[in-house]
Chain A
């Protein structure tokens, strides 16, 4: 079956632009996580959904970051007015609820 799918795979944005990153979780997975991974570092937690409810957004670095999952399936991470420090790989992961996280390949965002 299909794994977690993220798009785009690569995104280059000019500083100040808005970006939207998409995550298609594995069908039926109720839990969905967003992580940010800087080069040479481990993934840093951003936010977590259970179905359509955003249960934890404590990791979002600023109010420029916003995530949604309106129908409890596909999720979008939006970053407004991108800054250079936003450059990273953004990983999405999903879980059935009683299983480990399954990660997508990520979106590599470069802000110039």
Chain B
């Protein structure tokens, strides 16, 4: 079966750092995605991890531990525009098969 868990909501302060956790239990695993989705808009790709470790991309970093079935997305120097839902998803990078999404974490940034 497929099970992806992430917190429903989080709140953080502008300029601060926030970590959004994701745990997964899936029958197969190729890699883990993070997508950002603003209200009423399309999800947009943030990162893809297939190997254990931390990958940094500007203000956003993503970490994966395959043995623990765990990932996190780290957002630094938070800006108001970072208020959005962050979706954790499991699947192959090359879209050879379906990608399974978690329910998403709604992040609110306060001034």
Chain A: residues with CB nearer than 8 A to chain B?
Answer: 3-4, 31, 33, 35, 40-45, 48, 56, 59, 91, 95, 97-106
Chain B: residues with CB nearer than 8 A to chain A?
Answer: 4, 8, 33, 40-45, 48, 87, 89, 93-104, 106
| A residues near B41, Cβ cutoff 8 Å | 105
Count the A-B residue pairs with Cβ separation under 8 angstroms: how many?
Answer: 64
Minimum Cβ distance to chain A for residue B74 (Å):
19
Interface of B is mostly: loop
Which of B48, B93, B95, B102 is in CB contact (< 8 Å) with A42?
B102
Minimum Cβ distance to chain B for residue A35 (Å):
8
Q: Are A41 and B104 in contact (CB under 8 A)?
A: yes
> With A42-B87, A43-B43, A103-B43 given, is the CB distance from A59 to B104 under 8 Å?
no
Q: 18 A-B Cβ contacts within 8 A?
A: A3-B42, A33-B95, A33-B99, A41-B104, A42-B4, A42-B87, A42-B89, A42-B101, A42-B104, A43-B43, A45-B99, A45-B101, A97-B94, A98-B94, A99-B93, A102-B45, A103-B44, A105-B41
